[in-house]
Structures are given as structure tokens and as C-alpha cells.
Amino acid sequence: MKRIRVALAGNPNVGKSVIFNFLTGGRQHVGNWPGKTIEKKEGICYHRGYELYIMDLPGIYSLTTFSPEELIARDYILNEKPDVVVNIVDASNLRRNLYLTIQLMELGARLIIALNKSDLAESLGYEIDEKRLEKNLGVPVVPTVATRRIGLQELCDKIIEVVERGAPPSSITYPEIVEAEIERIRNVLEKDPMIRESYNTRWLAIKLLEGDEDALRKLGLIRGG
């Protein structure tokens, strides 16, 4: 049975746990991330002859270094390199949720967006053009209403499709001037084979530029702590 490794990422309170629970049912294991008191939830979902191994990452708003939850999530995606990252987005709060999405795209994760709480958004008066959103982001968008189990089958189908198709990693392009700087930094980073092997250099360049403490520390540019 072919195994696909999936990571669930999203803001707190978007329905991530609901989706996780419905997909994995009783086949889940709850523990702790090593050295921390943050819950680590992983589970298995069988779909159309595939085994989906699902890791529920902590709810986060962004991928900075302020909280252990954010570090856990980004380290997992960077080091474990899951086959697919499903970004669960609250349709009734698009702007705030997309902040994380953009950063996941900086990471170059292979992304699928689960546009959850579509019913809530509708009742609030929102009308979202999912196809347009898909096109703008360059990433598949699956509308879901997790609490009513709507869209979950389609989500699993999409996960399998994206893996089998060998879809490219997501990416986001910034204004030219910024891209130029990113590229310059990247070139310097690429010169070191060890860095080139271990990291996604584009992401690292962006993070260094941003002054991300964890990235700076890893490269020895500031003292560790």
C-alpha cells in the first residue's frame, strides 16, 4: 500500500482538529513533541488504496520564532519534508489565514488549501470565487465544511492526485527589487555545499533578510541561546 505523508497546518480554531478527527477516526496517537508540552497528534487514514499518514501540526498564525508551536511546525516541514501540506483556511477570515499560507509558499511546501467553514462564510455574506483563488495562489483549493463532513472525500482525492501527478512545490513571487536581494543572498548561500544540501536556500534567504532569529542562529550570525 502506497504511503503518503501529510501535514495539517493552519490557524487555531479553523477546524483543523475536526478534519483530523474525521479523517483518522480512532486511528490516531496523541503524544508530546520531544522536550515540549505541546500536543503531537498523528494518525492514519485509508483512502482508495493509499495509506495517508497525517501529522496534525500545532495551530499557528505565522512561521516566526516567537512561539514553540511555530518552530515545531516549520521544523517539521523543513526536516521531515512531508509529501503534502494541507493548509486549512477559515473562509470567513481569509486575509488573516492567508498570512500563514504565504509563508508556507515561501517554504516551498507542496500545498493544498482546504477552504473550511464555507457555510459560515456564506452565512456572513461572503462569496468567494474558489477557482480564482486557486489561480491566484497557484495551489489547489478544496472547499470544505468539516463539521458536516463535506469536502473531505474530495480533499483526500486531491491529496492523492497531487502526489501522483508530481505537482511542483508552491512558490510566491515578490516585487522585483526584493526578489533581486533574495537572489543575491541565495547565491552566497549556495556557495556552501553543506547549506545547499540541508536547506531550502530561497526560504533561508528570505528568513535571513527578515532577521529571523532561528535562521540567523543556525548560520552562526548571532549567538545561540
Partner 1 sequence: MEELRKVLDEAKNRLIESFGLEPDVLLPDIRYRVIEEIVSTSIIREKVELTLTDVIDDAILNKYLGIPVFISLAWMMFQFTFSVAAPIVDAVDMFFSWIGEIIGEYISNSFLASFLADGIVGGLGTILVFVPNIFFLFLALSALEDSGYLARVAFIFDRVMRKFRLSGRSIIPHLIGFGCNVPGVMATRTIVGENERILTAITNPLISCSARLPVYVLFAGVFFPDNSPTIIFSLYMLGIVLAFLISFVVGRFFLKGRPSPLIMELPEYSMPETRTLLMHMWERGIMFVKKAGTVILAGVIAIWALSNLPLGVKSVEESYLGILGHIMEPLFKPFGWDWRIAVSIVFGFVAKEIVVGALGMIYGVEEEALENVISQTMTPLSAYAFMTFVLIYVPCVATLAAIKGELGWKWAIFSAIYEVILAYLVALMIMVIGGVMLS
User: With binding defined as CB under 8 A, does residue 222 bind partner 1?
Assistant: no
112 vs 106: CA distance, rounded Å: 14
**By the rule CB under 8 A, 178 interacts with partner 1:** yes
Phi and psi at 216, nearest 5°, equal -60, -40
Which residues, 6+ apart, have CB-to-CB distance to 102 below 8 Å?
A: 172
**Is 152 or 208 the residue whose CB approaches partner 1 more closely?**
208
Q: Rule CB under 8 A: say whether 124 interacts with partner 1.
A: yes
Q: How many residues bind partner 1 (CB under 8 A)?
A: 46
**Strand pairing partners for 55?**
7, 42
What values do phi and psi take at 108, rounded to 5? 75, 30
Beta bridge partners of 113: 87, 141
Among 3, 13, 148, 157, binds partner 1 (CB under 8 A): 13
In the window 95-114, what residues touch partner 1 (CB under 8 A)? 95-96, 98-99, 102-103
Distances (CA, A) of 135 to 20, 108, 129, 139, 141: 26, 17, 10, 7, 9
Residue 185 touching partner 1 (CB under 8 A)? yes
Window 65-94: contact mask with partner 1 (x via CB under 8 A): -xxxx----------------------xxx
Residues that bind partner 1 (CB under 8 A): 13, 37, 66-69, 92-96, 98-99, 102-103, 120, 124-130, 132-133, 136-137, 172, 174-175, 177-178, 181, 184-185, 188-189, 191, 206, 208-211, 219-221
